Structure 1
Amino acid sequence: MITIHLKYEIDADKIEDFEEYGRRWVRLVNRFGGTHHGYFLPSEGDSDIAYALFSFPGLAAYEQYRTDSMSDPECQEAIRLARDTGCIRRYERRFLRPLDGASQPTGGVTG
């Protein structure tokens, strides 16, 4: 499994547009075989940082989603929403893997 972590710098004055963008992508990622874990919006602290997490069974499944989403009309509409409203200033994407209990080292320092 691979989990994608997105950190967004958003326009705090356009939070409603970003919320709509997020709602669309939760549904779309799930439709393409992923599991969306949600969008996390500013509450306390930075007013212009938001996060999203979603997972796919593996990197190949994620790459297939990326390829398929490029020609999907609903995906393109969601991208247009962000571009036209300017609700997203920039974003960073990270790929994470869960810690599997079987891969934990024995002995040494524990967390």
Structure 2
Amino acid sequence: MITCVVHYTIDPEQIAAFERFAREWMRLVAKHGGVHHGYFLPAEGASDKAEALFSFESLAAYERYRALFGHDPEFVAADRIRDESKCVVRYERTFMRPLLPAG
């Protein structure tokens, strides 16, 4: 399993747009074979940081999902939310492998 951790810098004035964007990506990850672990948004005080975590069974499975970016109409529509609202200032992806509790 490989987990993608996305670190976002967001526009706090566009949190509603970011939530729409996030809901679409959670749906798309699930539709294309991944497991989305959620988005983690600012809860208290002023903050421009958000995180997302989602997993695929392998890097190859993730790459099949990534191949749809910019081509699949649903992916393009989800990105349009981000682009038109400017809710995401920047983002960075990190790939990790989970170490889970035994049991």
1:28 aligns with 2:17: no
- 1:1-111 → structure 2 map (5 Å cutoff): 1-44=1-44, 47-99=47-99
TM-score, length of structure 1 as denominator length: 0.86
User: Which residue does 1:108 correspond to in 2?
Assistant: none
Over the aligned positions, Cα root-mean-square deviation in angstroms equals 1.6
Q: Cα distance 1:89–1:99, how it changes in 2: closer, same or farther (>3 A)?
A: same
CA–CA separation in structure 2 for the residues paired with 1:83 and 1:11: 12
* 1:22 CA drift (Å): 0.3
CA–CA separation in structure 1 for the residues paired with 2:42 and 2:100: 30
TM-score, length of structure 2 as denominator length: 0.92
SS of the equivalent of 1:95 reads strand
CA–CA separation in structure 1 for the residues paired with 2:44 and 2:84: 27
Aligned residues: percent identity? 54
Q: Cα distance 1:46–1:69, how it changes in 2: closer, same or farther (>3 A)?
A: same
Q: Cα distance 1:46–1:57, how it changes in 2: closer, same or farther (>3 A)?
A: farther
Larger Rg: 1
CA–CA separation in structure 2 for the residues paired with 1:30 and 1:50: 20
* 1:46 CA drift (Å): 5.2
Q: Which runs of 4+ in 1 moved over 4 A?
A: none
Q: Which segment drifts farther, 68-77 or 86-95?
A: 68-77
CA–CA separation in structure 2 for the residues paired with 1:55 and 1:5: 9
Q: Cα distance 1:8–1:60, how it changes in 2: closer, same or farther (>3 A)?
A: same
